[in-house]
Every structure is written in C-alpha cells, then in structure tokens.
C-alpha cells in the first residue's frame, strides 16, 4: 500500500489586507511606566513617521510615564484640561505595562445671535 | 586624593537607541554595571544595572537611562566628590576633562578610599588629607591659617591615668575642635598621636576665637588637659607661597613645641605661639 494514501499535509491560508495607518497611533498615546516601549522611543517613532506632528509630555504619575499628543489637539484644547481628562479616564484602564492609544474627536457647537437691523 | 586616582578601567558607552536587552549583554560582556550613554560624542546619561533591571528589555536605552548625569573635573578631591554625591543622592560621578570623558567613579570606591584616610578613634581624617588640602591651596595661591594643636604632657597623662584615659582626652579635644569646623571653610585632621592640624580660610578674628577656646584647659574626669598651638597665618606670613605644605607644617609644629616650652610644665598650662 502506498503511504501517500494514508498521510497528507495541507495548509489553509487566510489573507487579510488592510491599509497601514500612518502614523499607527491616533491622537494620543498613553505610555505606562513599565511598558515595552518608552516615551522617548514613541516620540522618535512619531517623529520618523509624522515629523513635527506630535509632542511628548512626561508625567509624574504612579502608572503613566508620558503622553504623546497630536499637536493639532493642543491647538484646540488647553494642555492642562486635556491631561486632566486623559488621566481621569486612562488611569482606571491602564496597567503600568500597557500603552494605550486614544482617539479624540472635538466637536465645537456655536450658536450666535446676530442683529438683523 | 583626587577622583581621577580612583578611575578603574575604561568607560564603556552605548548609544541611546540601543535596546535595554543589548545594554544588559554589553554589561555582561565587559563585566561592568554602568554604561555611559553617548550620542554623537555628547553624554546624554548613564545606564546602571539597576536601570536595566527595572526597565522592560525591549525599551530603548534613552527610555531607561538616568539623564543629566553629574560630572566633575579630574582634580576634585574625593571627599568633595562624596559631598556632591550626597547632595544629588547619586552613587556615581562622571569625570570629565574638558570635553573628554575621563572615567567614572563610584560611591563605593570613594568610601573605601576614605575609610583608609579616617582615624578610627576620632572619626577625623588623617594626615594625608590635610597635606592634600594644603598643597592644593598653595598651588591656587590661596592663603590660609594653619594651626598645629598638640596636647600637653600627653605621655605623662598616659603614664599617670592609663592609655584609655589618653584616648578619652584625644576624643574630647577632637570633638571640641570639630564643633568649630564649617564645611568648605575649615579642614581638620588628627595629624599624629596627640596632634591635630586645622587649615582654615576663616577671618582672623574667628581663628583667634578658636585659638582662645582651644587653649582653655579641658576637664576630663576632673583632670585638666590642655594643648599648645602653633599658628602660621598665611595671610601675613612673608613669602608664604614660596613654602611647601611640608614647610608650613614643620613651622607650625615647631611653634607648638616652642609654646609648650614656655607655657606648660603642668598638663593644665596652655600655650600658643604664632609665626607673626
């Protein structure tokens, strides 16, 4: 009896292709103190992929070492206010070994009254 | 006595973009526990084995190093280096000669060297300390006061009351003098058995007050113990900078002997001779 009738090896391939987002982070990167990528490495990565578009802030926080922020966000939102919100929300989710990325959408609603006279 | 005398072996460097894992490998290869982080010739920080242990191995060195390392020049005295380390709460100092990285000195190396210089009875430095300070000041043309303090009748004290009492007397005088010492202004050592030397940059009036205070007999277990003082005033001494520290010490020592001849006789009889 031929062995080939008894034994065979097959492979199934699944190929998923999607667009690589440049840069891979969104608006914010929150870097834990023991994360495998540190703030300086994240800054260098952002600088290489999107020069002059991100700013790194180092924090004195028990779990968070730094936050990388897209400059355009800072154009619209005060730094202190942004950090307050980010820290309040992120510190419950984050372990010090994690890096979180966050997307921030800011909608500005304006309502004005003008004088028609 | 300078920090460059404690440099052991070459400094090993690493660039900031290398991984912490690679840094650990380098430390093992070279058998060192510190790497200096250098980027295009500029020193950015130092990475210790402790930094390596506390950082994720995937991190880059720039994210694990201690930034802004404290540097000193090679001619800094080891005791001053220790003061700098205490002030900054660090365990290592980089030694930089101009733009060149000369080496690295650790707190442990300084402690070991200093323990060789410390007198175990009084806790004061020994003679090489004062010699190094004096040499450095003379080299800088910085005038100073040098006081040679010699306990009176110390041999008789030992014979009459025993050596432990003699030790008590030395310790009491050392403590009395140490109370006057102000950091960066006064330098005190136990020069020999019953002899102390102080170099001071203080005002003359302060030195006079010190001499008056030290000249007063000290009562130890109801025994009056006094000292004779030989005083060289470098601010007034002619041709002071033509002298070596050995000359200045010899002069002060002879002056204290002269003061003994005039003032003592009894252990409680103080004396002071000045060079000017």
Domains, in order of start, for chain B = 3-114 (3.10.580.10), 120-274 (3.30.70.270)
Question: What is the rounded distance in angstroms from the CA atom of residue B78 to the CA atom of residue B111?
Answer: 9
Residue B130, pLDDT above cutoff 90: yes
The per-residue DSSP string of A47-64 comes to HHHSTTSEEEEE---SSE
The Cβ-side half-sphere exposure at A83, using a 13 Å CA radius, reads 15
Residue B28, pLDDT above cutoff 90: yes
Q: Around Cβ B130, how many Cβ atoms within 10 Å? A: 23
What's the angle, vertex CA B142, arms to CA B140 and CA B145, rounded to 5? 140
Tell me if A113 is assigned to some domain. Answer: no
Cα distances (angstroms) measured from residue B270 to each of A20, A88, B156: 90, 73, 15
Please give the structure tokens belonging to residue B161.
């009351």
Question: What is the rounded distance in angstroms from the CA atom of residue B49 to the CA atom of residue B30?
Answer: 12
Tell me if A17 is assigned to some domain. Answer: no
Least reliable range by pLDDT among A99-103, B114-118, B188-192: B114-118
| ipTM surpasses 0.95 | no
Tell me if A65 is assigned to some domain. Answer: yes
Tell me if A66 is assigned to some domain. Answer: yes
Domain count, chain A: 1
Which of A36, A43, A95, A96 would best serve as a mutation to test chain B binding (most B beta carbons within 10 A)? A36
- Is B63 within 8 Å of A97 when comparing Cβ atoms? no
Q: What is the pLDDT of residue A67?
A: 95
B197 close to B227: Cβ distance less than 8 angstroms: no
pTM of this prediction?
0.68
Q: What is the pLDDT of residue B184?
A: 76
Hey, is B157 helix, strand or coil?
helix
Q: Kindly report each contact of residues B39-45 with a partner whose C-beta sits within 8 Å and lies 24 or more positions away, as own/partner.
A: B39/B15, B43/B69, B43/B71, B43/B94, B43/B96, B43/B101, B44/B16, B45/B16, B45/B69
- Region B113-125 average pLDDT: 90
Q: What is the pLDDT of residue A106?
A: 87
Q: What is the pLDDT of residue A92?
A: 87
Read off the pLDDT band of B16 (50, 70, 90). very high
- Is B59 within 8 Å of A97 when comparing Cβ atoms? no
| Of B110, B91, B113, B94, the residue nearest B102 (C-alpha) | B94
Q: Measured between CB atoms, does A24 come within 8 Å of chain B?
A: no
Helix, strand, coil share of chain A (percent; to 5): 30, 20, 50
- For residue A23, is the peptide bond before it cis, meaning its omega torsion is within 30 degrees of 0? yes
Hey, is A69 helix, strand or coil?
strand
Least reliable range by pLDDT among A2-6, B84-88, B154-158, B159-163: A2-6
- Region B77-99 average pLDDT: 88
Tell me if A112 is assigned to some domain. Answer: no
Q: Measured between CB atoms, does A58 come within 8 Å of chain B?
A: no
**Cα-to-chain-centroid distance, residue A97:** 15
Tell me if A13 is assigned to some domain. Answer: no
Tell me if A24 is assigned to some domain. Answer: no
Please give the structure tokens belonging to residue B26.
């380098």
Q: What is the pLDDT of residue A69?
A: 95
Q: What is the pLDDT of residue B269?
A: 46
Q: What is the pLDDT of residue B261?
A: 66
B102 close to B81: Cβ distance less than 8 angstroms: no
B46 close to B92: Cβ distance less than 8 angstroms: yes
Which of A29, A37, A39, A41 would best serve as a mutation to test chain B binding (most B beta carbons within 10 A)? A41
Average pLDDT, chain B: 88
* Nearest CA-CA distance, residue B61 and chain A, Å: 9
B230 close to B150: Cβ distance less than 8 angstroms: yes
Q: What is the pLDDT of residue A2?
A: 59
Percent share of chain B, pLDDT over 70? 94
Q: What is the pLDDT of residue A29?
A: 94
Residue B272, pLDDT above cutoff 60: no
Tell me if A96 is assigned to some domain. Answer: yes
The residues of chain A scoring below 70 in pLDDT are: 1-4
Candidate ranges B162-166, B183-187, B258-262; pick with highest mean pLDDT: B162-166
- Region B227-255 average pLDDT: 93
Q: Provide the domain limits for residue A60.
A: 29-102
Read off the pLDDT band of B53 (50, 70, 90). very high
């Amino acid at each position: 009896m031929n062995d080939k009738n008894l034994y065979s090896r097959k492979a199934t391939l699944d190929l998923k292709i999607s667009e690589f987002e440049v840069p891979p982070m969104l608006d914010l990167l929150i870097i834990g103190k023991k994360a495998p990528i540190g703030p300086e490495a994240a800054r260098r990565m952002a600088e290489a992929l999107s020069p002059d578009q991100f700013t790194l802030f180092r924090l004195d926080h028990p779990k968070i070492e730094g936050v990388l922020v897209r400059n355009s966000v800072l154009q619209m939102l005060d730094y202190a206010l942004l950090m307050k919100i980010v820290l309040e929300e992120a510190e419950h989710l984050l372990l010090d070994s994690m890096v979180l990325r966050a997307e921030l959408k800011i909608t500005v609603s304006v309502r004005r009254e003008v004088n028609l006279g | 006595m300078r920090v460059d005398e404690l440099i052991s072996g070459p400094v090993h460097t690493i660039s900031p973009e290398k991984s912490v894992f690679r840094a650990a490998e380098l430390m093992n290869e070279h058998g060192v526990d510190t790497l200096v982080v250098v980027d295009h010739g500029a020193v950015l920080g130092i990475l210790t084995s402790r930094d390596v242990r506390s950082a994720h191995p995937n991190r880059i060195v720039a994210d694990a190093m201690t930034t802004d390392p404290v540097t000193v020049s090679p001619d800094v005295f080891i005791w001053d280096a220790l003061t700098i380390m205490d002030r900054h709460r660090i365990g290592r100092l980089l030694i930089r000669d101009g733009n060149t990285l000369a080496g690295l000195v650790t707190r442990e190396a300084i402690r070991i060297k200093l323990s060789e210089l410390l007198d175990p009875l009084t806790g004061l430095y020994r003679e090489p300390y004062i010699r190094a300070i004096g040499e450095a000041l003379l080299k800088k043309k910085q005038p100073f006061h040098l006081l040679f303090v010699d306990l009176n009748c110390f041999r008789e004290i030992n014979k009459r009351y025993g050596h432990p009492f003699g030790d008590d007397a030395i310790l009491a005088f050392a403590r009395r003098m140490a109370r006057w010492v102000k950091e960066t202004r006064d330098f005190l050592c136990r020069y020999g058995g019953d002899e102390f030397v102080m170099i001071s940059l203080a005002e003359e009036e302060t030195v006079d007050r010190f001499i008056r205070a030290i000249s007063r007999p000290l009562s130890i277990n109801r025994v009056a113990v006094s000292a004779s003082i030989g005083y060289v005033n470098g601010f007034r001494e002619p041709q002071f900078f033509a002298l070596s520290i050995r000359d200045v010490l010899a002069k002060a020592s002879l002056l204290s002997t002269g003061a003994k001849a005039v003032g003592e006789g009894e252990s409680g009889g103080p004396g002071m001779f000045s060079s000017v």
